[in-house]
Every structure is written in structure tokens, then in C-alpha cells.
Structure 1
Amino acid sequence: MPGEITQELYGKTLKDGKDVNRYSLKNSSGSLVVRILDYGALISEIHVPDRNGKLADITPGFDNFADYESRNPYFGVINGRVAARTAGGQFTLDEKTYKLPQNWGQHSLHGGILGFNKRLWSGKVEGDKLVLKYVSADGEEGYPGELTTTVSYRVTDENELIIEYEATTTKPTPVNLTNHAFFNLAGHEAETMDDHLLTVPADTFLPQDDDYVPTGEIKQVEGTLWDLRKPVLLGERLLQVPGGKGINENYCLPPNDAGKLQLAAKFEHPPSGRYMECLTTEPGMQVYTGYYLDVQQGKGGAAYKRFGAIVLEAQHYPDSVHRPSFPNTIVRPGETYRQTTIYQFGVA
């Protein structure tokens, strides 16, 4: 028995009154329900069962579109055209320098002021997939080339949320797409994730400066607090990190043949039995434990506080456009950017 995808009007944009739709994706057993908006191509809800079969929504968000439009700290969105920080808010490509919005100090963050997270995508249902499309104009947020991006979402009876990305361009341009959903497996309203376990099977990570921009070095995790190769209890590890800012690191996953999925992270909540595995074709896993999270009146009146949820972003390395030694993020005409990331949910 196949699952189902339904569509409903969710709101209208404040500036131009355009319709915003919400899609509900449910597998055949109802053990995975995901809701997605065509604004920002964002994930607004993820409902999964605990060991007793009780469903809970495990991703923070808002109850109405107005809040997503006015005060969303990247809950569930697609970040692009380039996720993470681009140092200095500029880059040089083929001997031409491009200026980007500086929306994180002197740097550009997550595609700029009006990145993909604040754009209305076109949506359609194709079989068991929701396919969302956005055409980014040549010069939008300073980036060269018209970039056509599609992101598809699909849920399976194995309780997988499968996200597939494709992008093509009319001019050479950097592309680094990811989803920025937050997770707390105790439920979105839980105030901490101290009782969660985290594993990231990476031997190396990227040291960075105080603005979270990589220095260019690739360092072994061995002997550091960033070593997550075995499960760590977040409540203990976050207390140990100097400066009190938690984890906001890019992990370098093992070398991977093109198109092959590999485990990038496992997140577990022993009290409920829920766990989540992230598999991806990407070379990097950005782990962010929500230091800057501070939202009053989220879904159901929940308050989302510092270290109350985690982001596990499968992506290329940050600031790759300035680091030729990092995996390439430049897409050229005639090429197609592709990425697949799977969040698989289960019960221990």
C-alpha cells in the first residue's frame, strides 16, 4: 500500500500576497509524517514513533507562515546557493571577482540576505515524490549564472526521508546546498538534548577562526573534543567544549566514490528509543548544536533555547571557493550538481 502526499494552502507572502502551500508526506503505515512548505522548501514537521509507538514531532518550527517569513532562524530550510560562510563576502572565479552580501559580520552566510531559504519555490507531486523547483536569476545575491535547482522529498516505509538535489547553471558558479532542519528526538518542545548520544564517523575536521571560517587546515579528531567516532553524551561533551559555544564543526567524511551513500552521523535518544541516521553522498557533515538558538513562541508555544536541538547538515566543506585543496563546489554550464541525503528514523 503506497503512502500519500496531500497539499493545502498555508498562507500568503506579506510582500506580494503569493500563495504558500504546505505538503504532507505520509508513508503507508503512518509511522513517518513529514510536512514541507514551498517557501524555502522547508521542513516544518517530522513525526516519528518512540518505542511504544507514540508519535512526536521532532523538529522545531512555527504554527503559522507569518512567523516563518519574519523570524525563522533557518528552521528546516534549504540553504543556498552556497551554504555556510563565504569569507570576506566575495570570491574570484575565472579571474573575475564577485561581491556577496555580508550578512555574518564581514562574511556571507547561507546564500546571502535573500538566499534560497527566503524564496518561494514551485512545487508538484511526481509519483511518491514532492519536487520543488527554484530558478535563481543571474546576479541574484551577487552570484553569477542563472541557477535552476530542484529538491525532491520522499518518505518510505523504512521510515526514511530522502532528499535529492539537482542544479544546473548558465555560467560557472559555486553551489553548496543543504537542509538546515533542527532535531530533538525527545520532541521539538524538549528544552535540552543533554540525554542524546551523537556519533560522527569522521577521522578529520576543519579547524576554523572565531567567525567559523575554516583556516584551510584539515586536522585529525584524535585527542580532541571533536572526536565523535564513538557515541558521546551531548550533555557531558557540551560542558567540556571551551568557550561554551558547543559544537559547530565541519567533519570530513571518508573518501567516497561518486554517488555512493555513506553514514555521516547517528543521533540517539535512549529514553524514548528514537534514533536517526544520516546518510549522504556529500563529503562533509556540519554539526551545529544550536548555540545561537533563542526562539520564544515556537510550535504550540514552545520556547527553543540554546543547545535545545541539533542540525546535521550534509554538504561540501564551507568556504571551498577559497580553498582549492577542498572538494570542488564550482558548477559549470553543461554540468549537473547532484546530491542525495537520507534521514532514516528508527527505534532501539
Structure 2
Amino acid sequence: MSVIQDSFGQLGHQPVYSFTMVNDHGVEVTAINYGCIITKMMVPDQQGNYENIVLGHDTLDEYVNDPYFLGAVVGRVAGRIKGGSFELDGTPFTLARNENKNHLHGGVRGFDKVVWDAEIVEDGVQFSYLSPDGEEGYPGNLYIQVSYRLNNDNELTIQYEAHADKKTLLTVTNHSYFNLSGNGKRDILEHTLTIKSNQFLELDHELLPTGTFVDVENTPFDFTRERVINTGAASLHPQNKLVGEGYDHPFLLHTNHDREIVLSDPECGRTLAIETDEPAVVVYSGNSLKAEGEFWGVPSRKYLGLCLETQALPDAIHHPEFPSIILDKGQQYSSVTTYRFDCK
């Protein structure tokens, strides 16, 4: 394993660096300390061709102005919070409202829009950030560390650790857009996906959870057996139509650390297996990617990338029946997600 540090620009007086992890097989993962953004994942196909399998940009300015949370760690709370407000122990808190009247992925200046401290560790890089009390409306000074580690089994492990000096909310995820075809040669509609999940969460017209868990059986949301993404994009199911022909839904995982999420591109043979200790994964099929701009020279368009966001359930603070996202004062937050790259 080696880690190569390079300059990636400057934001005000803060330098931004890229960190490229390379294992003995030539697999590379590059991340920057702005937003902990993963900018590249170079992995081989069945012919041994190394290509990038995530959407990314060439310059820091493009990431600063990116509206898609591309490759970033999002938080303090991943997903939507209804009305951009919540209560803790009877005290109301008002958050930044950055999607109509709701709060999305940590707000206007969430974890994705700040420069993190960075330190090279033995097999990767560790980022750290102190989110001050009141940032984007959240209570408490929150100290968070995110580490990216790559090993010779072609596994990238992301570990999140945090604690706060006041009771607050926390659930974070990585928001990479995967495209296993390599360098964006094709969209993700012919990718196949398997998820060990028997239920998904119904959404309302604002894409907020209604609180109803729906059985996946006999629906386009049944990924218990390998399913092509296009079946959801072409589906007339009301939940597929609601999100713009595709998926933007939380799936409740019924197992963890057991290859519970597997994405494949049958044409090139690449597979991505994801294991996590989180209770859910949000599957987003890039329905809102606009035909404006480009990623690594490939014109942006709908379905060019697929997000697999391992996290707690969105808007959990308003649904006591969901797993809690409340982080008590002094409590240690910890979450791990591992990505394994392979070929069929």
C-alpha cells in the first residue's frame, strides 16, 4: 500500500489536497480533504482494463459548485428532515432549508462543503472536522473523523467516528455515484443490483418517508434476487414514478456484513459488494442528474450514476418507530462500510 499526496487547489486560505491510495494490485482510490470527496476509483474489468467507476470532476471549483453531493460525506444528517426543524427534550431547533422547506444532507454548508484536516495513515487517509455548535442549526460541538483505508483484498473501508458536547443528531454516509462500465462509457440502467432487504420505505410527494414499510415481494423494489435497474426506471409503479422514473428509496437491510448489497455490470464484469453495520441503504438511480456540464469529460445525463447510501433512515427524528439518530452528549458514534471490488 502507498498513499500519494498532491495539491488540489485552495479555498480561501485553506489548501486542499488529494490523497491517492494504491494497493499491490494497482487498484487506486483518490479522495480530497474538501468534503472527504472520493474523486476516483480505478479498478480493473474482466479484461484487466483499469478505469474510473465513480463520477467526478477535474477541479476544486467544480466540486465547490456541484449540486449533487458528488462523492462526498454528507451530514450531520444524511437524507431529508421534514420542515427543516426538530425538537430534542422539548427544545426546538431550526435547520438550514436547502430543498424547498426541508433540510437535505446537512444543509447549505454541510460536511460536503467544508475543508477537513487530513492525515496519512498506514493504509489510507484520515479526515477530521470540528462542526461548531449551531452549524446549519444543529446543537453541540461535534468532532468527527472519517477514515478511508484500502487493502490488498481490493477492499475500501470507510469508518466514521464522532462525539459531541450536547445532545444532537447524526447519521452520515458517502454519496459516491457509481458507474461500473468504466469512465462513464454507458449509463447504469443495465447494471444489476442485489440487496438483502425485504422492505422499502414508502415516500410522499416531497420524497419524505410516510412511515410505511412496504414488502418488496412482487414489486420493482424486490432486489432479493438480481434485478436490472432499468426495470425500475421503466416501471409504472407509483413509487418509481414519484421520484422521476427510478429509485430514491431507503431499503431496510435484514442482515449486515454479509455481502448485503451487490452491484454488477454484466458487460464488463465488474462487481461492487458492500457490507455495512447501518440499518438501511438508500438506492438513488441518478434520476435528477441534468443534461448540463460533465463528469471527467463525459456529458452529464440522467442515470449516469447510481448512489448506494448506507445510513440510518431519513427523517428518523420525526418517526420514533425508526432506529434512533440521536447522539447523546459524550456518546461515541461509530459506523463502518466496506466496498469490495471484483470481477465476474
User: With structure 2 as the length reference, what TM-score do the two structures score?
Assistant: 0.96
Tell me if structure 1 keeps the 8 A contact 2:166–2:330: no
Q: Which of 299, 309, 314 in structure 1 is aligned with 2:305? A: 309
Tell me if structure 2 keeps the 8 A contact 1:45–1:60: yes
Distance 1:280 1:253 in 2: 10
Q: Does 1:180 align with 2:175?
A: yes
Q: Which of 286, 289, 293 in structure 1 is aligned with 2:289? A: 293
SS at 1:279 equivalent: strand
Distance 2:296 2:276 in 1: 32
Q: Does 1:112 align with 2:110?
A: no
Q: Does 1:45 align with 2:40?
A: yes
Distance 2:130 2:258 in 1: 30
**After the TM superposition, which residues 71-90 of structure 1 pair with which residues of structure 2 at under 5 Å, given as runs?**
71-90=66-85
Q: Which of 129, 134, 137 in structure 1 is aligned with 2:132? A: 137
Tell me if structure 1 keeps the 8 A contact 2:283–2:308: yes
Distance 2:258 2:168 in 1: 27
Distance 1:277 1:330 in 2: 29
- Which residue identity does 1:40 align to in structure 2? G
From the superposition, tell whether residues 86 and 188 of structure 1 become closer, same or farther in structure 2 (CA, over 3 Å).
farther
Q: Which of 326, 330, 336 in structure 2 is aligned with 1:334? A: 330
Determine what percentage of the aligned residue pairs are the same residue. 33
| 1:96-147 residue CA offsets vs partner (Å, 9 max, x unmatched) | 0100111111110000110000010000012113100010000100000000
Tell me the equivalent position of 1:25: 21
Tell me if structure 2 keeps the 8 A contact 1:280–1:314: yes
Shift of 1:241: 4.3
SS at 2:234 equivalent: helix
Q: Which of 188, 192, 204 in structure 1 is aligned with 2:187? A: 192
Shift of 1:55: 0.3
From the superposition, tell whether residues 241 and 122 of structure 1 become closer, same or farther in structure 2 (CA, over 3 Å).
farther
Tell me if structure 1 keeps the 8 A contact 2:187–2:304: yes
User: With structure 1 as the length reference, what TM-score do the two structures score?
Assistant: 0.94
From the superposition, tell whether residues 21 and 285 of structure 1 become closer, same or farther in structure 2 (CA, over 3 Å).
same
**After the TM superposition, which residues 62-101 of structure 1 pair with which residues of structure 2 at under 5 Å, given as runs?**
62-101=57-96
Q: Which moved more, 1:43-52 or 1:329-338?
A: 329-338
Segments of structure 2 that go 5 or more residues without pairing to the other structure are none
Tell me the equivalent position of 1:236: 231
Q: Which of 277, 280, 284 in structure 2 is aligned with 1:281? A: 277
Tell me if structure 1 keeps the 8 A contact 2:42–2:50: yes
Shift of 1:63: 0.8
Q: Which of 5, 8, 20 in structure 2 is aligned with 1:7? A: 5
Distance 1:252 1:315 in 2: 10
Shift of 1:262: 3.4
Tell me the equivalent position of 1:250: 250
Shift of 1:191: 4.0
Tell me if structure 1 keeps the 8 A contact 2:144–2:161: yes
Tell me the equivalent position of 1:171: 166
Distance 1:240 1:92 in 2: 38
SS at 1:321 equivalent: helix
**How many residues are matched?**
339
Q: Does 1:212 align with 2:207?
A: yes
Tell me if structure 2 keeps the 8 A contact 1:124–1:132: yes
